[in-house]
Amino acid sequence: MMEIPMADLTRQEIFAECHLCVVKVGTRVLTDESGRLDLHQLHHLVDEISNLHAKGVQVVLVSSGAVGAGMGCLGLEKRPENVASLQAVAAVGQSKLMHHYDFAFQAHHLQTAQVLLTADDLADRGRYLNVRNTLLRLLDLGTIPIVNENDTVAIDELVTHFGDNDRLAALVTNLVRAPLLVILSDVEGLYDGNPALPESALIPVIQQIDDQTFKMVCDQQSGLSRGGMMTKLEAAKMVTLAGENAIITSGKQKSILSRVFNSEPLGTLFLAQGKSLTPRKRWIGFSAQSKGEASLDSGASDAIVRCGRSLLSIGVRRVKGTFGKGDVITLVDSTGKAIARGLTNYTSDELQRIRGLSSREIIEVLGHVPYEEVVHRDNLLVLEPTGD
């Protein structure tokens, strides 16, 4: 009996057990060289998603292409650089993009639902839950939710945008707790060097995304899209840290989704790190806006990352920002690298006063000890793999 390689076995298990996935399709997959929407490519994608749906796999589609579609409609050759023009082009393109999606899915007797989001929608806990409930209900109704950033109201200067649809797709994957994110790009996957060079090889499986993984990235800029391999890696890391899997592969290949779900060795598969996280921890770790920062000594950093401990005041060296009790703050190590995010039990003013102190010394400064921990482990998510 022929022995099945472990990587192939992993693929078979992941795709055989997947009944809900998020598919993200990039601008360069959906548009032609002139920047206009490629309707043949769009219909091919719809056929693929419809085939998955018929086999019992629920799909949330995160689609780029609104700006590209608008550029085609308006006869623009270059992506606008100022915010007002970019939003106007997106407004023109979004309606055209949804029209084509709706028409294509109707041929398969499937209904679509447009969901436009801004970063604030997922940063606020109440709105986050509302979006989650809406998406899950749409899936229950048998529709294909089509998600995009609401470019017509997202303002770059106010940092309320997602930055790219790769991150948005990762947030949506975590929002609905989908076990798989499929990123369809114009490249085959992650290479160990510049993909344009013949000596570079495609990496089939990444066990853990770390600093070395990011060093392999070689982005190729385009006038149409905001993302690149770096943002795709960041999205894959976000999903795998939440306990799910991700794959980056070429959306230009024929029958790509069918072949991926048939466990063909395509693209780069990123494996889940640990157990699937609760929706609350996903919100803390990835969706909520961080209101401040606590810099930790090496002992506290190791205790959090490697030992699964809570953060105590004695391990805090510096405090940055203004935040209140219950806000999300970022924990950074001595080099300034973000290692975790969590809900603080102390305000920034209180933490500034008790940093470096033991728990028994807090009462001498504040007059009471409301909490032993600055951030309890139950309200904390580690952002870095342990390497164990």
Given a cut of 70, whether residue 218 has pLDDT beyond it is: no
Stronger pLDDT, 217 or 129, i.e. the higher one: 129
Q: Which domains, and CATH codes, for the chain?
A: 6-281 (3.40.1160.10), 290-382 (2.30.130.10)
Mean pLDDT of 23-35: 85
Say what the pLDDT of residue 338 is. Answer: 95
Percent share of the chain, pLDDT over 90: 63
The string of pLDDT tens digits covering residues 42-56 is 999 999 999 999 999
Confidence label for 161 from pLDDT (cuts 50, 70 and 90): very low
Given a cut of 50, whether residue 226 has pLDDT beyond it is: no
The whole-chain average pLDDT of the chain stands at 88
**Helix pair 165-176, 229-241: axis angle to 10 deg:** 10
Stronger pLDDT, 170 or 70, i.e. the higher one: 170
Say what the pLDDT of residue 61 is. Answer: 98
Say what the pLDDT of residue 227 is. Answer: 52
Mean pLDDT of 303-325: 96
Say what the pLDDT of residue 234 is. Answer: 93
306 CB-side CA count, 13 A = 9
Cβ atoms 332, 340 nearer than 8 A: no
Q: Which amino acid is at 162?
A: F
The string of pLDDT tens digits covering residues 61-80 is 999 888 778 887 888 877 77
Say what the pLDDT of residue 14 is. Answer: 92
Say what the pLDDT of residue 134 is. Answer: 97
Confidence label for 164 from pLDDT (cuts 50, 70 and 90): low
Given a cut of 80, whether residue 165 has pLDDT beyond it is: yes
Alpha helices in the chain (DSSP H): 6-17, 27-30, 39-54, 66-74, 83-106, 119-123, 125-140, 165-176, 211-215, 229-241, 256-261, 279-282, 298-305, 348-354, 359-366
Confidence label for 156 from pLDDT (cuts 50, 70 and 90): very low
Alpha helices in 268-378 (DSSP H): 279-282, 298-305, 348-354, 359-366
Confidence label for 118 from pLDDT (cuts 50, 70 and 90): confident
Given a cut of 50, whether residue 2 has pLDDT beyond it is: no
Cβ atoms 83, 103 nearer than 8 A: no
Mean pLDDT of 156-160: 37
Say what the pLDDT of residue 77 is. Answer: 78
Say what the pLDDT of residue 8 is. Answer: 60
Confidence label for 160 from pLDDT (cuts 50, 70 and 90): very low
Say what the pLDDT of residue 291 is. Answer: 96
Given a cut of 60, whether residue 158 has pLDDT beyond it is: no
Say what the pLDDT of residue 154 is. Answer: 53
Q: Give the β-pairing of 338-343 and 380-382.
A: antiparallel
The string of pLDDT tens digits covering residues 254-296 is 899 999 999 999 999 999 988 899 999 999 999 999 999 999 9
Given a cut of 80, whether residue 387 has pLDDT beyond it is: no
Confidence label for 82 from pLDDT (cuts 50, 70 and 90): confident
Given a cut of 80, whether residue 369 has pLDDT beyond it is: yes
